[in-house]
Structure 1
Amino acid sequence: MKSGLGRTLAGVGALVALTATAGCGGGADDGGKTADKPSAKASATAEPGPKPLGEAQLKKAALAQGDVKGYRITPASEDEIPDVSVPADPASCQAIADLFFVGTEPDAEARVARSVISTEQTDATLLKVGLLAHEEANAKKILAEVREESEKCHAYEHTDYQYKDVKPGETPKLGDEAVAFTLRGDIDGDKMTFGYTVVRSGSTLVVFQALNALGGAEAEVPDEVVKAQMDKLEKQA
């Protein structure tokens, strides 16, 4: 798996170079509005929730080429989403660190991911969208952990790279509940900004990752990509 991780991070560097060259050349309304934020340590409800979607259902619900005008959408490679959780330092930032590879702890029962890249040459944002099927209790627990860490984890190390300036964003009104945050990373000397939006829709978690390959301004997940994915998922569910 070490070689797979190496290829993944090398791929990030390659995408940065390609994007930099291109740049020079040219739901439910009340989701996430709860007044009391759930604790990451809260015990799971004993009531059974909706059955997790299977892999075939996730693939049908995932974005595909042509779903969002102005974007090229392709399945993410296995190297981009390795089936392993790499320890973060400190461990109190693990849930956030896992999202880099569209992962969670516990593992999803099924998972698909898509790479989404704007066809505009001046757009340096690289996007990744992941759908993860969980038991509903686990989905709630994971989102609570991500929310808590976005507020309390300020810097960490993951896969030998440094991340800092973790900041919670405005709570999105998406799905049953959602959380958003930003951070900055240093990968092989390249300064990058990341933006994350994580949504729970029933027992499915949707991870939106935006990477500004040129650094500088904060990375943002485009509204049209979020809307297209959430609409498609909710029709499938």
Structure 2
Amino acid sequence: MRTAFVRRTVLTASAVSLAVLATACGSSEGKKEDAKPSAGAATSAAPAAKAKTDAELAGLLVAQADLPQHVVKPATPAEAAAGAGATSDKPECLPLVKAQSMAPVGSAGGTARTKAVAKPKEPAADASPEEKLKAAMDALGGTATAVTLSSYDGKGAEEAFALLKSAGTACAGGYTGTQDGEALKIQKVAPGAAVTAGDEALAYTVVGDADGEKLSMELVVVRKGNALATFSAVSLTGTAEQPKAVVDAQVKKLG
């Protein structure tokens, strides 16, 4: 059976699509032979980064105004709760399951979530019934992207990113993720199209077996300072596109 996350995300994508159709550094020091260190030169290391709260992160999430070619919808409390209980048959793969389930990886101090569904191309006003039907079917194939922001104290974001990076290698041969008591067999994890964003980024194409059908999902992770942004994209057609516009818009809002 499809995992709860995949099922809910696909249903959200179809509902939104149909609704749209219906409405048609370095520093330098001076050299002075006998100069003593000044008070400024003797400063201690910068204080460790402090995690943002849920509310602060919510203000940094991509919104409708940032993505005019998408329909942006808030994540539901049920989605957040389900992600928190996600598990994997392989402990080393749990970071990937969490990232796909709108759950933070590691010990995050704050988390915020939303969803963005690519808008379908609307049929012309004088389109025939056949053309309108085709447009409706095409709409159902739009990519739906779950966006999760997590913020960490200190180097927590770097550590979480490292966990996801190592998981991509360790779990290349597959794993099983479980959410809400439903399991999804992942057959392989492969490198996705390269992403250049934030301080460091990675991308995976995750291929699973959903009810005997191939399901290809895109997972992108971007670290910006002590914040981690994860993007998990799925489609009703079974093959999602990497959500470049969503990634770019979100990273821009992180500053």
Which TM-score tier does this pair reach, normalised by the shorter chain?
0.7 to 0.9
Q: Structure 1 residues 59, 65: CA separation in 2 closer, same or farther (over 3 Å shift)?
A: same
Distance in structure 2 (CA, Å) of the matches to 1:93 and 1:110 = 22
1:226 aligns with 247
Deviation at 1:171, TM superposition (A): 4.3
Q: How many residues align?
A: 207
TM score, norm. by length of structure 2: 0.71
SS in structure 2 at match of 1:103: coil
Partners of 1:136 and 1:202 within 8 A in 2: no
Partners of 2:16 and 2:117 within 8 A in 1: no
Unmatched tracts of structure 1, length 5 or more: 26-45
Deviation at 1:132, TM superposition (A): 0.6
Q: Following TM superposition, where does structure 1 have runs of at least 4 consecutive aligned residues deviating by more than 4 angstroms?
A: 5-10, 15-22
Deviation at 1:8, TM superposition (A): 4.6
Distance in structure 1 (CA, Å) of the matches to 2:4 and 2:164 = 26
Partners of 1:70 and 1:118 within 8 A in 2: yes
Letter in 2 for 1:181: Y
2:157 aligns with 139
Deviation at 1:220, TM superposition (A): 2.7
2:103 aligns with 103
Distance in structure 2 (CA, Å) of the matches to 1:10 and 1:70 = 23
Q: Structure 1 residues 202, 103: CA separation in 2 closer, same or farther (over 3 Å shift)?
A: same
Q: Structure 1 residues 18, 75: CA separation in 2 closer, same or farther (over 3 Å shift)?
A: closer
SS in structure 1 at match of 2:84: coil
- State, as a whole percentage, how many aligned pairs show the same letter: 26
C-alpha distance after superposition, 1:134-165 (max 9, x if no partner):
12412111111111111221211111221122
Q: Structure 1 residues 8, 93: CA separation in 2 closer, same or farther (over 3 Å shift)?
A: closer
The equivalent position to 2:201 in structure 1, one of 173, 178, 181, is: 178
Partners of 2:145 and 2:243 within 8 A in 1: no
Partners of 1:20 and 1:213 within 8 A in 2: no
Letter in 1 for 2:175: Y
Distance in structure 2 (CA, Å) of the matches to 1:224 and 1:6 = 26
* 2:98 aligned with 1:80: no
Q: Structure 1 residues 50, 224: CA separation in 2 closer, same or farther (over 3 Å shift)?
A: same
C-alpha distance after superposition, 1:182-231 (max 9, x if no partner):
1112334453211011011111000111112212x4x2333222111111
Partners of 1:208 and 1:221 within 8 A in 2: no
Deviation at 1:172, TM superposition (A): 2.1
SS in structure 1 at match of 2:221: strand
SS in structure 2 at match of 1:62: coil
**Which structure's CA Rg is the greater one?**
2
1:31 aligns with none
Unmatched tracts of structure 2, length 5 or more: 23-44, 121-135
Distance in structure 1 (CA, Å) of the matches to 2:203 and 2:115 = 19
Q: Structure 1 residues 13, 220: CA separation in 2 closer, same or farther (over 3 Å shift)?
A: closer
1:52 aligns with 51
2:129 aligns with none
Give the aligned CA root-mean-square deviation in angstroms. Answer: 2.9
TM score, norm. by length of structure 1: 0.76
